[in-house]
Amino acid sequence: MLKFSQYPIEGKYGKYGGQFVPETLMVAIKELEEAYKKSKVDQDFQKKLKYYLSEYAGRPTPLYYAENLTKKIGGAKIYLKREDLAHGGAHKINNTIGQALLAKKMGKKRVIAETGAGQHGVATAIACATLGLKAEIYMGSKDMKRQKLNVFRMKLLGAEIHQVESGSKTLKDAINEALRDWATNVQTTYYLIGSVVGPHPYPIIVRDLQSVIGNEIMKQIMLKEEQLPSALIACVGGGSNAIGTFYPFLDYPLVKMYGVEAAGLGLDSSKHAASLCVGAEGVFHGMLTYVLQDEHGQIQTTHSISAGLDYPGVGPEHSFLKMRERARYATATDEEAVNAFLELSKNEGIVPALEPAHALAYAIKLAHTMGRDKIIVVTLSGRGDKDAEVVAKHLGVKI
């Protein structure tokens, strides 16, 4: 039997994944696959990537023992993987630097990307600014309203923003528009996807680039604790910080993994974004995966207090890990996420983004049930400055 880490096989994780895209894009994704394979063994490329990750993005990020929080809960030791300290304020830079280098290698001068919360848009704008590429970002108008700060940051970084008014005006529609742009300008343009979603090879490219998170965790925890963690916890929208955290540990069966999806106003409210927990298999944005859809196969609109989790699909590797029961998937509501956001801010002096606040909410519950000799690592995928306004509004505070 194959090890978990050996997937995908021909672009598939079990039955999930694949390449469900219009014919116009088939050549482009095959070309990308070739270029990516070459880059993996290209020493010059790998050297450059390493250089930018350490000198520019600020890696490795710390693995911090959250002692106050641990003591307050009185269970397993909680460590935080501080992706919020990476340049740009989130884990997204790990991926955008790598893919922007790839775009350059392929001779593409124009880069397009989609963004939900704006973190991937910002990280793309950052990578393109430093590498001398033109960045154009698609963003739903609803997201633009709730993430004004990031919209302004992208503009400062020299990116052009395309406001998307179609469909639900959020992340899924931004991806639709980016795909349409790509089909139109495929000869000159690199599509820089921000998560482990889309047609093969994107899920593997983004996973490999984000695996730096898990690789560092493994080294750091062995140094600090001389043992592997009992559990890894990360939030799942598309699922890139979660896959990046999980992947290096997939073949260590004693390490449990938990992906936490957004339950929004509750799983029975239809205002959530829990594709894995309550969705069904479907074909969406180029992949076969779990999707929130109605009985006729129409993709549903989602809700989450965190724009970064507000997506009706999920990376195909997560669908595979769920089916094979290698990872478990849970949810946290808007309310629980905000509480965890406040809890971490007060106890540790760290303001997390609302996305990883979902992971924290679940970690707090889980730690409570585990012995003090156990270790939990939570990936803190981003910092919370961008969410201050949303949280204040949620609490009824005027700022």
Applying CB under 8 A, does 172 fall inside the site for another protein?
yes
Applying CB under 8 A, does 292 fall inside the site for another protein?
no
Cα gap 248→234, rounded to integer Å: 14
Q: Which of 33, 319, 381, 386 is catalytic?
A: 381
Q: Which of 77, 81, 92, 322 is catalytic?
A: 92
Binding mask 295-324 for another protein (x = CB under 8 A): xxxxx-------------------------
Applying CB under 8 A, does 107 fall inside the site for another protein?
no
Phi, psi at 293, each rounded to 5°: -150, 165
**3-state SS, one letter per residue, for the chain:** CCCHHHCCECCEECCEECCCCCHHHHHHHHHHHHHHHHHHHCHHHHHHHHHHHHHHCCCCCCEEECHHHHHHHCCCEEEEEEHHHCCCCECHHHHHHHHHHHHHHCCCCEEEEEECCCHHHHHHHHHHHHHCCEEEEEEEHHHHHHCHHHHHHHHHCCCEEEEECCCCCCHHHHHHHHHHHHHHCCCCEEECCCCCCCCCCHHHHHHHHHCHHHHHHHHHHHHHHCCCCCEEEEECCCCHHHHHHHHHHCCCCCCEEEEEEEEECCCCCCCCCCHHHHCEEEEECCEEEEECECCCCCECCCCCCCHHHCCCCCCHHHHHHHHCCCCEEEEEEHHHHHHHHHHHHHHHCCCECHHHHHHHHHHHHHHHCCCCCCEEEEEECEECHHHHHHHHHHHCCCC
User: Out of 5, 6, 24, 269, which residue is the one contacting another protein (CB under 8 A)?
Assistant: 24
User: Out of 163, 185, 215, 345, which residue is the one contacting another protein (CB under 8 A)?
Assistant: 185
Applying CB under 8 A, does 113 fall inside the site for another protein?
no
Q: Which is nearer to another protein, 137 or 288 (CB)?
A: 288
Applying CB under 8 A, does 9 fall inside the site for another protein?
no
Q: Which of 33, 114, 177, 343 is catalytic?
A: 114
Question: Annotated catalytic, 322?
Answer: no
User: Out of 124, 150, 245, 293, which residue is the one contacting another protein (CB under 8 A)?
Assistant: 293
Applying CB under 8 A, does 282 fall inside the site for another protein?
yes
Applying CB under 8 A, does 34 fall inside the site for another protein?
no
Q: Which is nearer to another protein, 129 or 323 (CB)?
A: 323
Q: Which is nearer to another protein, 14 or 167 (CB)?
A: 167
Question: Annotated catalytic, 295?
Answer: no
User: Out of 8, 18, 214, 316, which residue is the one contacting another protein (CB under 8 A)?
Assistant: 18
Kindly state the smallest distance separating residue 28's Cβ from another protein, in Å: 7
Q: Which is nearer to another protein, 184 or 269 (CB)?
A: 184
Applying CB under 8 A, does 259 fall inside the site for another protein?
no
Q: Which stretch binds another protein (CB under 8 A): 94-102, 144-152, 182-190, 243-251?
A: 182-190
- With tokens 């469900």, the residue in question is 20
Q: Which stretch binds another protein (CB under 8 A): 139-147, 175-183, 266-274, 362-370?
A: 175-183
Applying CB under 8 A, does 325 fall inside the site for another protein?
no
Question: Annotated catalytic, 92?
Answer: yes
Binding footprint of another protein on the chain (CB under 8 A): 18-28, 166-167, 172-173, 176, 179-180, 183-187, 280-286, 288, 291, 293, 295-299
